[in-house]
Structure 1
Amino acid sequence: MRLFRRLSRRLASPRSQGGRIGGRRGFTLIEITIVLLLIGILSGLAIFTYRMLVNKARMTQAKTVLDHLTKTQAIYYSDHDRYTDNVILLDFDPVKYPYYNVSVILDNDAKNYLGIATGVGPMAGDWWTITKDGQPLQADNSVFR
């Protein structure tokens, strides 16, 4: 019974209530500052990573638009025995590809072409190229700078 009384007195003392005199509970200014600093650092890293992933996803649009260009140029070539630099004739819809503009450069006899996808808006500075029989190549990687 004595042990119980001693323990109950000790628990009722002001020092046992959160370690502060007067029984107040709460956080110190330093603790709150450290937590806010950690939250700020973690959210900054998360936002940076998110933006990189969004830009990487948008880059797939460049590959898609150049793949579409290659297919439509092949169809146009089979009908006219030459390539075209007019993307309207290739039935390109600019609304379908909002992050890249497409242009075509032909050689002198229109038997070869260079397709260029130039970044627009948030992808400005990024551009990709493709030839009639090649894979899309990224020409500039300024998105991650």
Structure 2
Amino acid sequence: MHRKTKKARGFTLIELMIVVAIIGILAAIAIPSYQNYVKQSRRAEAQAEMMRLALNEEKFRANNPSYADHTNTALGVTNTSYYTFTIVAAANTYTITATAAGSQTNDTGCTPLTLTEGGAKGPAGCWKS
């Protein structure tokens, strides 16, 4: 007489643990890469805002004898949850500074961002050309 063996169904514990380990390894690689991408995109957004503010400064200067300081609401300084923008202006110069706030403070080496009337951008490695 033959015994009928039941066919096993499902996964063994070893197979399940292998899948969990693979998912853990992939997450350990993907999550830091994603967080770095998010920091870079927020920095690029802040740089775009700084360029907009610089354009507003130049427009203001075209119609006035000096650049506008940070108290001038005509420039439209808008702070975000990730950066605070300030403008320090004198008669012929200005410096726009974006200081990281919140979780963006982890963007070490790239805070604060600066932009001057002459187009000098700092820190050097943080601006894409």
Task: Please report the TM-score for the alignment, with normalisation by the length of structure 1.
Answer: 0.68
* 1:66–1:136 CA contact under 8 A, matched in 2: no
Structure 1 segment 5-24 matched on structure 2, within 5 A: 14=5, 22-24=6-8
Q: Separation in 1 of the partners of 2:125 and 2:38?
A: 17
Deviation at 1:103, TM superposition (A): 0.9
Of 44, 47, 57, which aligns to 2:31?
Answer: 47
Deviation at 1:140, TM superposition (A): 8.7
Give 5+ residue unaligned stretches, structure 1. 1-8, 15-21
Q: Deviations over 1:109-130 (max 9, x none)?
A: x211211111122212632101
3-state SS of 2:9 partner: coil
Task: Please report the TM-score for the alignment, with normalisation by the length of structure 2.
Answer: 0.75
Q: Separation in 2 of the partners of 1:74 and 1:105?
A: 14
Q: Separation in 1 of the partners of 2:124 and 2:85?
A: 14
Q: Separation in 1 of the partners of 2:9 and 2:73?
A: 74
3-state SS of 1:114 partner: strand
Q: Separation in 1 of the partners of 2:57 and 2:121?
A: 15
Match of 1:34? 18
* 2:70–2:89 CA contact under 8 A, matched in 1: no
Give 5+ residue unaligned stretches, structure 2. none
Match of 1:74? 58
